[in-house]
Amino acid sequence: MSLQTAAFRTSGDESRVDVSVQFPWNDLYRKWDTSSWTLYARIAVMGIVRRTDGSIAARFSDLLYPSYWPTFDQGGTKFIAWEKGTSKLSGGIPRQLNGAYSSLSLGSSDSYFGNDTLALAFHDGAGTATFAPAGSVAPGAGDIKPDLASVETALDSSDPFWIPTRYKTQFDLPPGEYKLEVVLSDGWNLGRAEMPLTLAPYDRKELALSSVALCRRLRDADAAAKEAAVANFAPQYVPLVSNDAEFSLAADTTFEKDSQFFAYFEVYEPLLARNPATSVKVQMRILDADGGTVKAELAPVDAAPYEDSDTGMFRIAQTIPIRQLPKGAYRLEVRAQDSAGGITTWRAADFKVD
């Protein structure tokens, strides 16, 4: 289980903390019940942010039922009823079909989708399966027989569709020293991770820098916003957007050499309100893990193209070149500097190259 956090200023006195958790989906416990045609799996996450005195400052929890059908523990009633509606059979045994309806084989109820979907059919006792998908050949009597082992295999093969592998959330915190503890449970096994969380105060008078968020995924921000609005997922979630691209905080900060690696951070420049001509530049460098040796100085970044006129901040995302780096542990450091002489301290994020 991997965990990364990043803190960004909000309009108030608090910081918005992004949390990303990653876990191997294939290790999660789940069970297909072929009698009810239900995937039993419950993935739960919870997090506690403690102050240094042990008291709780924030928390979150969430869970997911990654059912193939949204049937939870009540069985595949919907699916069974669905099939009954097609066959007008009662008491039939749900079976799996393939496109060609050959017995003991696996397949789909819909030839268009090939093996990517599963469906059930009912044996009517006379050996006739009455559910014949479009484009398929109706089966002959007695063609369909139960083969639960094959069904299990087929169901297992659909695992990736429905099993989560990452979780992300956000919460607000005032400045202070904290420890974040995150526990993941699949109902059978537990994973736990924790990390310190330091949120520096911000007086809104000086140039400042957010955390450096390490990312490997990006998507079109406008499309993502529209999709999110329709889906109504976490409606108050604030995405990390820079120049029309939305970045996702990576939980696992080990990057392969040829993989894409982005750093997202925000620069807060209060002088902009008084003097829009204020310019800001960002310096970036890669050091070894203990911060002792500089391995690469990256070209300075002019922040102007990244200015968010709505908020008066710079939302910057940069590709981090790691192809030339040998395998090992590193630290990415970022700092900002303005034309008025303001300069921030170095902000760091650790990562590995594999």
Partner 1 sequence: MHHPRHAAFTRATHSLRAVRRTSGRLLIAFAISVGCAFVCLARGSDGLSFCGQPTSAAQSGGPIRSQVDLQTVDVQVKDKKGTDAKGLTASDFTVREDGNPQKIAFFDTGNGPVSVAVLVDSSSSMVRKGHLGSAQEIAARFMRIARSGDQIWAMDFTEWTGPFEEVTARQLSNPGPVNVPAAGGQGSAVYDAIATAICHLRDSKDPRQAIIVITDGVDEHSRISLDQLIDLVRSQRAQLFLIGFPSRPEFRFFDHTAPKVTLVTGHDIDNPDVVFERLAKEAGAETFIPKSESGLQDALKAVSNLLEAEYTLAYYPQKTSRKLRRIEVKVDRRGARVLTSRFLVANSDSADTVHFVKGACVVSPKFHPYSYESHLTNGPGGTVYRDGFSDPNSGWPQHPDSHYAPGGYELSTIERTSADITQPQMTPGSGMSSSSTTIRGTYRDNVVASWGPSWWNFRVSASMKALFRRPPPVNSRVQFSHSVHPAAGLVFRMNEKGYYALLVSPASEFKKNELVSRPGDYKKKLAFEVVAMTFQVDSTTGRPSFVPSVIVPWIVVDGASAMDAQLTVDDVGDHITIFVNGRQVGSVHDRRFTEGCVGFTVLAPTSATFGNLLVEQTSLSAPDTSVAFAQEKPSPSDSGQAAATAPPVTVESNLVLVPVFVYDPARMAQAPKEELPCARADVTALFKIPSTEPYLPTDCDVTEVHGLTIKDFRLFQDGTEQRIVKMDSGDWWTLVRDNLGWHMQSSDAPGGIWDLSELSTIKRVPVLNREFQRLAYVPNSPKEGCHRISVQVDRPNLLVFARNEYCTGQTRLTL
Site for partner 1 in 117-156 (CB under 8 A): 117, 131, 133-134
Residue 348 half-sphere exposure toward CB, CA atoms < 13 A:
14
Residue 230's contacts (CB-CB under 8 Å, 6 or more residues apart) are none
Structure token digits, residue 49: 């942010």
Site string for partner 1, 24-63 (x = CB under 8 A): -x----------------xxxxx-x-----x-x-xxxxxx
Indicate whether 177 belongs to the interface with partner 1 (CB under 8 A): no
Among 152, 156, 188, 319, binds partner 1 (CB under 8 A): 188
Q: Which is nearer to partner 1, 1 or 343 (CB)?
A: 1
Q: What angle do CA 232, 235, 239 make, to 5 degrees?
A: 115
- Alpha-carbon distance 182 to 196, whole Å? 12
- Alpha-carbon distance 257 to 161, whole Å? 28
Among 105, 185, 279, 283, binds partner 1 (CB under 8 A): 185
Q: Are 240 and 260 in contact (CB under 8 A)?
A: no
Among 27, 156, 172, 354, binds partner 1 (CB under 8 A): 172
Q: Which is nearer to partner 1, 70 or 326 (CB)?
A: 70
CA 101, distance to chain mean position in Å, is: 38
Site string for partner 1, 212-241 (x = CB under 8 A): ----xxxxx-xxx-xx--xxxxxxxx----
Residues 1-20 that bind partner 1 (CB under 8 A): 12
**What minimum distance in Å lies between the beta carbon of 48 and partner 1?**
5
Q: Which is nearer to partner 1, 7 or 271 (CB)?
A: 7
Which span sits near partner 1 by CB under 8 A: 99-107, 180-188, 278-286, 307-315?
180-188
**What minimum distance in Å lies between the beta carbon of 183 and partner 1?**
5
Q: Which is nearer to partner 1, 126 or 230 (CB)?
A: 230
- Alpha-carbon distance 45 to 168, whole Å? 10
Q: Which is nearer to partner 1, 35 or 275 (CB)?
A: 35
DSSP label at 74? G
Main-chain phi, psi angles of 161, to 5 degrees: -60, -40
Burial-class residue 285 by CB neighbours within 10 Å (0-12, 13-18, 19+).
Answer: middle
211 residue type, one letter: S
Site string for partner 1, 61-100 (x = CB under 8 A): xxxxxx---xxxxx--xx--xx-xxx--------------
| Cα–Cα nearest to 320, from 274, 254, 263, 252 | 263
Among 103, 128, 183, 285, binds partner 1 (CB under 8 A): 183
Among 34, 169, 279, 283, binds partner 1 (CB under 8 A): 169
- Alpha-carbon distance 195 to 206, whole Å? 28
Structure token digits, residue 17: 């903390």
| Cα–Cα nearest to 17, from 347, 249, 241 | 249
**What minimum distance in Å lies between the beta carbon of 13 and partner 1?**
8
Q: Are 121 and 87 in contact (CB under 8 A)?
A: yes
Among 7, 144, 151, 163, binds partner 1 (CB under 8 A): 163
**What minimum distance in Å lies between the beta carbon of 36 and partner 1?**
12
**What minimum distance in Å lies between the beta carbon of 223 and partner 1?**
4
Number of residues that bind partner 1 (CB under 8 A): 82
H or E element: which one contains 231?
helix 221-231
**What minimum distance in Å lies between the beta carbon of 31 and partner 1?**
11
